Amino acid sequence: MTVRIQAAHDLSPVELSLLEDRLNSHNRSVTSRHDDRGLVFVIRDDQGHPIGVAAGYSWASTSELKLMWIDEAYRGRGYARQLLRAFVEEAANRGVRKIWVSSHDFQAPALYEHAGFERVAELADWPEGHSNIILCKSMTGTGTA
């Protein structure tokens, strides 16, 4: 069999998802943990359009918040705090012990810190001139944000 590496910068979301499923299957096999599930909360406007999301997953007593976003027109109204609180509460209900999130310095690290997340790493010049901050919330007590 001959294999080749090719650029696929426009790989479809479906194909990328199928590849991610294969990786997750391997991870389940190695860890004997089959409890991975999406963890997503969305806020919609009156027309049903999404204006905010907190999206990630839980697996093996751990959760990662991969996407937190509020439409610019709706910022400053507490929606991010509400989404984060819902995400943390659901993670706690699933028995999650730690929640991880990455936030650039120009995004919302203070939001996470106010919710009990602690900075565990700061990666300088990612992107150049800024930092990527890795935060973790250890779930003890109520586990709410």
* Whether pLDDT at 35 is above 90: no
Mean pLDDT value of segment 6-24:
91
CA distance 82 to 63: 18
59-117 per-position pLDDT tens digit: 999 999 999 999 999 999 999 999 999 999 999 999 999 999 999 999 999 999 999 99
CA distance 143 to 33: 22
On the CB side of 65, how many CA atoms lie within 13 Å of its CA? Answer: 29
